[in-house]
Amino acid sequence: KIELRQKLNLPLDKKIIISAGSAGKYKPINGDNYIDAISQILDDDTICYFIGPSIKDAYWKKVYEKSNHRIVPLGYIKF
């Protein structure tokens, strides 16, 4: 676990949540908003990485900044 975190440059002292999908997956539906829901469970010891949405998108950049960098959009990742 430690080796993998070091290899991926992930913090060793934080809990990590991963979510993956296109940016459209996270759009609010009938008042339900995934970002608001995940924000409620994040604390200073937890980071949520989103694979798919990009920080280059103005909405996601705002989410990143508003979350105090605890919601991190990584964009698309090729394996």
Span 17-74, pLDDT tens digits: 999 999 889 988 898 899 999 999 999 999 999 999 999 999 999 999 999 999 999 9
Q: How far is CA 65 from CA 7, 31, 70, 72, in A?
A: 25, 22, 8, 9
14 and 46 in contact (C-beta within 8 Å)?
Answer: yes
Q: What pTM does this model have? A: 0.87
How far is the C-alpha of 65 from the C-alpha of 60, rounded, in Å?
9
Structure tokens at 53: 């949405």
Spatial separation of the C-alpha atoms in residues 71 and 56, rounded to whole Å: 14
